[in-house]
Structure 1
Amino acid sequence: MGIEMVLDMAVSVHPERQALGRRGSGMTYEQLNDAACRGAAILREHEAAHVVFVGVNGPILPVLTFSSARAGIPIAPLNYRLPADQLRDLIGQLDKPVIVADSAYRDNLDTAADVVLTSAEFLELASSEGPTVTDTADDRSTAVVLFTSGTTSAPKGVLLRHQHLLSYLLNTVEFASAADDEATLVSTPPYHIAGMGAVLSNVYAGRRMAYLPDFTPQGWLDLIRGEEITSAMVVPTMLARVVDHLDGRSGDSPRLGTLAYGGARMPQPVLERALVAFPDTGFVNAYGLTETSSTIAVLGPDDHREALADPDRKGRLSSVGRIVPGIEAQIRDEEDAVLAAGETGLLWVRGGQVSGEYMGKGSALDADGWFPTRDQARIEDGFLYIGGRADDTIIRGGENIAPAEIEDVLAHHVDVRDLAVIGVPDDEWGERICAVIVPTGASHASADEVRSWCRERLRGSRTPDDVVFVEELPRTATGKLVRRDLVAQVAD
């Protein structure tokens, strides 16, 4: 059995419950299943070995996800923001693709595959009378191909097998746990693991999915209120824009019971402002990687509120919480020796949901099944703290410096709206510490004033050598800093 089992289970319990769309105007679970069975027949008819999706999140994604599962082929959602030549390059790595694309992107992909359909065309075909396929997938076969964001190197195709995704669901989500009036707002992109995870976890829980294809702070708030959304997930840049938009006012969303965030580092000042703006909402920090089939650590609502109320626990707001059931974690040094609790090293994880497998490159798991996340981390009092990517480490005069250590301090400066700390080449020290800051306004502290402020709060070796002010930082749609682009920009 593959991930189509998730939809089968939902249909068996509540076939008439609405699964997708705005209230009263979307698909029920039974209709979603019917569309997936017909969609699988369409893919079989075209002899597809992959189905590629290029478009924004919406009802088409769950239809395609379960269509591909019933057809026994992987779905590969691609970043619709990429230039056409990069999209074609990624598509060229996939065998016998059928492309389904939103109309805005279809024309650029006309010759990228033998079959190119718009999202509307596929939905219309899947909603019409015709042959159906009700097959089940082999749980060892590939269900999803997700390309990494390529923030530090060329994108790699991560292979997530049905067994990995099912392990994630069975260990972290309770089946049919949502009430019939619960709804979630999906605003994460489909090419991100959070977008795919939203499809599976919400169908498994039985929760209606509403969509916000084009994020704006007011649009997000309007949909949260108008659709009486009970849960949502955002990336840090989205939450920062919402709290800036509210500017100290209440979020006024009484039905919003849970607000999850992840995908990139959350600045603590942004989180604290959000907790005040949404006092009745339970916040959840969900940490995971594409290679781990989504979440492997969670900082829950009680942890957030306790940390906000207790100065001795406030530091926990910078953690990603506790490791979820089914996952083991170790902190190792560069020689793979396991470190003691509280020591900083590299995070390794193991469990049924961990893939660690790349298209054309094989598995990154070691002989005992452990996956190297390449994230610097420590585990303290059972809470996992992430210190950034190992590749981002600044080596200044032979001393290893984690940018996150400096960023966490600078984020509290009143004149800092966004920032990143990077290493830039230096003949004497090897690398210099450079703080790149997006200021809150035209009038702000000088570079020397920022450095003096840091020196009072950090060790001298951690004080930035340089401070550069810019209008914005290069980030992906999910808020990840494209560090190599920033280094090049500053160096230029």
Structure 2
Amino acid sequence: MRLTMLLDMVADTAGDRIVVGSRAGGITAAGLRDRARAGAAVLRASGADALVYLGVNGPAFPVALFAAALADVPLVPLNYRLGEEQLTALLARHPGAYGVGDEGGGAALRAAGIAAVDAATWLATTAERPVDEPVDEPGDEPWDPERTAVVIYTSGTTSAPKGVLLRHGNLASYVLGTVEFLAAAEDDAALVSVPPYHIAAVANVISNLYAGRRTLVLEQFSPDEWLTTVREERITNALVVPTMLSRIIETGSDLAVPSLRGLAYGGAPMPGALIEKALRTWPEVGFVNAYGLTETSSTVAVLGPEQHRASLASDDPDVRARLSSVGQVVPGVELAVLDDDGVPLPAGEVGRICVRGDQVSGEYDGQGRAVDDDGWFDTRDRGHLDASGYLFLGGRVDDTIIRGAENIAPAEIEEVILHHPDVVDVAVIGVPDEEWGQRIEAVVVLRDGRALEAGELRVFVLQRLRSSKTPERFLFWPELPRTETGKLVRRDVLRQATLS
């Protein structure tokens, strides 16, 4: 199924329903389809082979998503927070693209030789072009769901981002398997607080649309702004990461959210004390813990509202423990915990979390599909299933640091620190943190006879990386634990650092 068929279904059935933006002046389902058709005409006239989106989230994003789908080119949302060198390298992979960006993003796009407009111009253009302008369809051949709809760059254990290819079939399968068509009431509204280069942004556009729910984006998160928006826009459903929830609950402001019925969270480990406090603060709100990856088109396991409440109220330790789980697998996805030889492990035993199903891509640009002969995709997360099929995460197989729902590669930070002339060796680790999920720390070995203050090194890193990737603490050791072959024993670094 082509993604635009989801839009067609909603526009044909509930075309007057506002699905994007505020209650006053938002875009209707029919209007979104008209804009997508106009945007597709722009893309086809430009000869673009992709649409690169480089800016904050907002109404321009869903228009870009469906315009690209209709024009049969992939949408490529890029991280506008990347450093200049890394962003330039990614833009160089899409020389034939058309760009939509904010002020800074537009400048970067044009510097890369990509024709670009800002988000306001994109919205104005797609609103004013004749919507009956012919848009070429793929021809008489049957639509191929294997065509690429979205390319999302994600950084794993190395500093080089990988482009995850999400096919139309992957994304459509996710929606059809997890969302009921037009199940939302006409006045339902979802508040999304994630950037457009995150899989959750794409998933929320298509899933809320299919449900018939209006989606509103909070471009710059703050607890007070979030609470104000929920109340003024009568938000019924919202998506946050644990760090955001912590700031909201601890803000000290009026926490009344009378319209809110559902709150989904994910992207990073949720501290147990925080979710318990949130459940008691908003007992009428249905909390949902969603676990998924870019490579799986978003959610593959869910801990639903009733499961949250039952766990909180239970005296049974096994049931109570489920509040720390990510729930049970969603329909249409198979999940197994395998050992290193690919053999399924029994309940309670920790191994590699692997998934398969139509929504699972597991495919990287230029690298092919990373699945085994049986179709299993290794998420590189470790975990276990309990006897009732609840999934518990046990950390990454690799060394990726997850800070505030953002995957951060230690190698990228280590490379920067090693450029300091006084540094001879370094290990960057993620240490458990109640607010961020993990905080970044660095263990540094200096050259003989050199002296360096932590503050000086922090300034050095800040000049090259943004603050969220700058270690909060620097430790100075005479040497790092390494094997005889020179491999860093990162678990030993973490253990010793937490004792320092």
Indicate the TM-score class for this superposition, using the shorter chain for normalisation.
Answer: 0.7 to 0.9
CA change 1:33–1:306 in 2 (3 A) is same
Map of 1:332 onto structure 2: 338
CA change 1:364–1:490 in 2 (3 A) is farther
Map of 1:302 onto structure 2: 306
Number of aligned residue pairs: give it: 423
Secondary structure of the structure 2 residue equivalent to 1:373? strand
Question: What is the rounded CA distance, in whole Å, between the counterparts of 1:330 and 1:200 in structure 2?
Answer: 27
Question: What is the rounded CA distance, in whole Å, between the counterparts of 2:366 and 2:475 in structure 1?
Answer: 34
Map of 2:482 onto structure 1: none
CA contact (8 A) 2:19 2:28 kept: yes
CA contact (8 A) 1:57 1:186 kept: no
Map of 2:63 onto structure 1: 63
Map of 1:40 onto structure 2: 40
Question: What is the rounded CA distance, in whole Å, between the counterparts of 2:262 and 2:112 in structure 1?
Answer: 41
Map of 2:372 onto structure 1: 366
Shift of 1:423: 9.9
2:184 counterpart letter in structure 1: A
2:389 counterpart letter in structure 1: G
2:357 counterpart letter in structure 1: G
CA change 1:330–1:150 in 2 (3 A) is closer
Shift of 1:166: 0.7
CA contact (8 A) 2:91 2:109 kept: no
CA RMSD of aligned residues (A): 2.7
Question: What is the rounded CA distance, in whole Å, between the counterparts of 1:323 and 1:256 in structure 2?
Answer: 25
Which deviates further from its counterpart, 160-169 or 141-150?
141-150
1:387-434 residue CA offsets vs partner (Å, 9 max, x unmatched) = 11011399xxxxxxxx99x94xx85xxxx88655989699xxxxxxxx
CA contact (8 A) 1:74 1:142 kept: yes
CA contact (8 A) 1:186 1:211 kept: yes
Question: What is the rounded CA distance, in whole Å, between the counterparts of 2:221 and 2:439 in structure 1?
Answer: 23
CA change 1:201–1:70 in 2 (3 A) is same
Secondary structure of the structure 1 residue equivalent to 2:11? helix
Structure 1 residues 432-451: aligned runs within 5 Å? none
CA change 1:491–1:172 in 2 (3 A) is farther
Structure 1: runs of 5+ lacking an equivalent: 395-402, 427-469
CA contact (8 A) 1:98 1:113 kept: no
Which deviates further from its counterpart, 327-336 or 252-261?
327-336
CA change 1:291–1:256 in 2 (3 A) is same
CA change 1:138–1:490 in 2 (3 A) is farther
Shift of 1:151: 6.0
Question: What is the rounded CA distance, in whole Å, between the counterparts of 1:270 and 1:75 in structure 2?
Answer: 36
Question: What is the rounded CA distance, in whole Å, between the counterparts of 1:23 and 1:57 in structure 2?
Answer: 18
Map of 1:344 onto structure 2: 350
CA contact (8 A) 1:39 1:132 kept: no
Map of 1:3 onto structure 2: 3
Map of 2:27 onto structure 1: 27
Map of 1:147 onto structure 2: 153
Shift of 1:83: 2.0
Map of 1:175 onto structure 2: 181
Map of 2:215 onto structure 1: 209
Instruction: Find 2:277's aligned residue among 250, 273, 280.
Output: 273
CA contact (8 A) 2:440 2:471 kept: no
Instruction: Find 1:256's aligned residue among 231, 248, 260.
Output: 260
1:189 aligns to 2:191 (yes or no): no
1:385 aligns to 2:384 (yes or no): no
Map of 2:416 onto structure 1: none
Question: What is the rounded CA distance, in whole Å, between the counterparts of 1:99 and 1:234 in structure 2?
Answer: 28
Shift of 1:146: 0.3
1:255-309 residue CA offsets vs partner (Å, 9 max, x unmatched) = 1000000111111111112112211100000000000000000000011111111
Map of 1:291 onto structure 2: 295
Q: TM-score, normalised by structure 1?
A: 0.80
Question: What is the rounded CA distance, in whole Å, between the counterparts of 1:392 and 1:288 in structure 2?
Answer: 18
Structure 1 residues 89-104: aligned runs within 5 Å? 89-94=89-94, 96-104=96-104
Question: What is the rounded CA distance, in whole Å, between the counterparts of 2:149 and 2:102 in structure 1?
Answer: 22
Secondary structure of the structure 2 residue equivalent to 1:325? coil
Question: What is the rounded CA distance, in whole Å, between the counterparts of 2:438 and 2:147 in structure 1?
Answer: 42
Map of 1:117 onto structure 2: 117
Secondary structure of the structure 2 residue equivalent to 1:67? helix
**Identity of counterpart residues, as a percentage?**
46
CA contact (8 A) 2:239 2:264 kept: yes
Secondary structure of the structure 1 residue equivalent to 2:250? helix
Map of 1:317 onto structure 2: 323
CA change 1:489–1:77 in 2 (3 A) is farther
Map of 1:437 onto structure 2: none
2:397 counterpart letter in structure 1: A
CA contact (8 A) 1:18 1:24 kept: no
CA change 1:360–1:108 in 2 (3 A) is same
Map of 1:135 onto structure 2: 137
Question: What is the rounded CA distance, in whole Å, between the counterparts of 2:119 and 2:63 in structure 1?
Answer: 10
